[in-house]
Amino acid sequence: MKFAQKALRRRFVFLFSALLFLGFAAGLLAYQRRGGGYQEEDEEDMPIGSKQKVEWTFARFRYNVGGGFFRGFQRWAADYPKSDRQLVEGVIRLTRINTHVAEQVVDAASDEIYNWPWIFVEDPGAWVLSEAEAVRIRTYLLRGGFMFFDDTHGDYEWNNMMAGVRMIFPDRAVEDLKDSDEIFHTVYDLDDRFQIPGTRFIWGYRRPYLADMKVPKWRGIRDDRGRIMIAICHNSDVGDAWEWADSPDYPEPATSMAYRIAINYIVYGMTH
């Protein structure tokens, strides 16, 4: 009996040691495959699943503003990254689109632009494009890419945005989109669109809407087949509504409209 118990204990010790060794070896192999340490400095900040292959990614356009900063920060990054991530959460909840759980920044000076078929541009009223960047954007759009311009207000920002647009497409018309346009009916029927306010107009010190900022404009630029390549929300701040969707102080109707607009634009851009 004692002999059997000793044999059982020896067998248990052997099995435990073997399992401990295998666990250590597996951990060492994983460490070596990564090359030791973190591959990305901010990897721990990325959501779980950020390496997964997907159908759609929220890509944000990074552009030059001429002086490096505008009112203390780069305008392309306004609302970033909270706005991007909260829109992504909404797309995952409200659609069956296989969506990337992390945002992506796309640089104006890089050919990386061709890897992202749907790109969001925050306040192009502050951008300064080079000729090479304009050519790259033109090629991207004519190859089937889609851009969503948001958060320009008033004539000054509109004109500055159009200076860049005219470098991209010198002769293509910018049109006011009709309620019947397909982009407003891909998922939701959006005949009841209204101005989506930025927080700077409704919170704290309330910046007044000037006369040229009061009427929202829904505009677009088409290719030769009639496909909208650039969709423009002028005199609205759709990105702010995504960013503050979790705030009880931001008007819920504007948030709901902003998510519906985004989903329609995503589905349109990815299917046309």
Number of other residues whose CB lies within 10 A of the CB of residue 89: 17
* Mean model confidence pLDDT for the chain: 85
Q: How many residues in the chain?
A: 272
Kindly state the tokens that stand for 34: 């990564």
Q: Whose CA is closest to 45, among 100, 98, 103, 87?
A: 103
Does residue 6 or residue 141 have the better pLDDT?
141
Q: What is the pLDDT of residue 207?
A: 79
Number of other residues whose CB lies within 10 A of the CB of residue 123: 25
- Residues 222-244 have pLDDT tens digits of 999 999 999 999 999 999 999 99
- Residues 127-168 have pLDDT tens digits of 999 999 999 999 999 999 999 999 999 999 999 999 999 999
**What is the reported pTM?**
0.80
Q: What is the pLDDT of residue 268?
A: 98
Yes or no: say if 269 and 117 are a contact pair by the CB < 8 Å rule: yes
Q: Tell me the C-alpha distance between 91 and 16, whole Å.
A: 47
Q: Whose CA is closest to 138, among 120, 112, 164?
A: 164
Q: How confident is the model at residue 59 (pLDDT cuts 50, 70, 90)?
A: very high
Q: How confident is the model at residue 25 (pLDDT cuts 50, 70, 90)?
A: very low
Q: Tell me the C-alpha distance between 249 and 63, whole Å.
A: 31
Kindly state the tokens that stand for 52: 């997964």
Q: What is the pLDDT of residue 46?
A: 54
Give SS3 for 28.
helix
Yes or no: say if 259 and 215 are a contact pair by the CB < 8 Å rule: no
Yes or no: say if 54 and 98 are a contact pair by the CB < 8 Å rule: yes
Instruction: Average the pLDDT over each of 65-69, 77-81, 129-133, 171-175 and give the range with the smallest value.
Output: 65-69
Burial of 94 (0-12, 13-18, 19+ CB in 10 A): middle
Helices 131-142 & 154-168 angle (0-180, nearest 10): 80
Q: Tell me the C-alpha distance between 269 and 8, whole Å.
A: 67
Q: Tell me the C-alpha distance between 195 and 258, whole Å.
A: 10
Q: What is the pLDDT of residue 33?
A: 34
Q: What is the pLDDT of residue 36?
A: 32
- Residue % of the chain over a pLDDT of 90: 73
- Residues 173-227 have pLDDT tens digits of 999 999 999 999 999 999 999 999 999 999 877 778 999 999 999 999 999 999 9
Query: Where would I find the H helices in 35-177?
Result: 82-94, 131-142, 154-168
